[in-house]
Structures are given as C-alpha cells and as structure tokens.
A = this chain, B = another copy of it.
Amino acid sequence: MVGVRQFDEGEALDKALTLFWQKGYSQTTMQDLAEATGVQRGSLYNAYGDKETLFLRVFGVYRDRYVDHMREAMDKPGLREALESFFGFVIKSMRTGAPTRGCLSTKTVVGIEELDESIRSEIRDLLDEIEAALHERLSRPGEAEQLALSPQDAARLIVMHTRGLVVIERVYRDEQRMRSMAELLIQLLLKPKLS
C-alpha cells in the first residue's frame, strides 16, 4: 500500500457523527464536516464519494453504539428497573449537547422527504434491532408474566413510545416532562401487583 490515508478514520467518523447528530443530515454541509473533522473537503470526497455514503458510514457507527448502550442499560435484574434504565438512556441520549441533539435516526427519516431508500432501510433496521433487543429483555422467564401485553406487543409499543418522546423533546425541550411520560408508560405496561 503506497500513498496512504493521512487522517484517522475512526476519529473523523466520530466527529462527523457529532455534527450530523447535532445539525441533522441535510443541514450539515461537506464544508462543515471538513472543518469539524479537520479533513479537507476534497479528501472526504476522495474517501467516501459523496455525502450520502459518508452518512451511511457514520450511521453505522451510531447504530452500533446506540444498540450496545441500550442493551447495557436494559440489563438489570427487575423489569421495572430495566425499563426505567432503558428510558433513562434514551432520554439522556437525546438531551446531550447544547442545544440538545435529539435523535439522529428520527431527525433523518422525518426531516427528509426525498430520502434515499438505503438510508430509510438502515433506519428501519435500527428500529427493528431495538425492538428485538426489547423483546428479548421482556421475555426473560418469570418477568414476561408481569406485563400487561405480550412481549412482542410491549416491545413495539415501547419503540413507538420512544419515537414519541423524540418529538416531545423537539417541541417542549422539557426533560421532566419526558421522564414523567416514560413513567406513565411503565405504569401501564406493568400489571398491578396482585397482593
């Protein structure tokens, strides 16, 4: 290998992720990305071809990290604790940054009408993966019985609920409200204890 890449790809993708997340896909320009990563615009084009391809690479990083952290958050002994920790992670993820960054996948899929199918498909896969991880967690023996719904239905409802939280965050920018919304859903999902 001669003529080797002069920038650290991991670091560049990481900084690009921060930017895309903060500003959203369409409002992030290649110039912005060049400045944030310290890599010249031309080099980015040379390395990734175009903005969309670069985004897809960045989105892969986002997805892997998101799912990892989410699984970790859910890995708690009790069902209620697991759900509280899950929503805690989801909320914290959105409320990071100033102004808060919200949710990358939602911003992308809702904000862009002419969205390339490959991007939409990546986002669908991410949601499916989140749903699957929730389903798995909710199916732990001895805990599924505490749910007012089947693990399948509950997982889907929770995924949709988190998407609703994203929108509420964008509109109200009120973390307390988000927390209480999460708590409400947990209450509804967990069967009242038969004393």
Copies per complex of this chain: 2
Q: Is A61 an interface residue (CB 8 A)?
A: no
Q: Give chain B residues whose Cβ lies under 8 Å from the Cβ of A109.
A: 167, 170-171
The prevalent SS among residues of A at the interface is helix
Cα–Cα, bound, A168→B157 (Å): 11
Nearest Cβ distance between residue A56 and chain B, in whole angstroms? Answer: 16
Closest CB in chain B relative to A70 CB, distance in Å: 17
Contacts of A163 in B (CB 8 A): 163-164, 166-168
> With A160-B161, A181-B157, A185-B157 given, is the CB distance from A110 to B113 under 8 Å?
no
Known: A157-B181, A165-B160. A171 touches B123 (CB 8 A): yes
Give the complex CA separation of A188 and B161 in angstroms.
Answer: 13
Residues of B close to A187: CB separation below 8 A: 149
Specify the chain B residue showing the minimal Cβ separation from A150.
B184
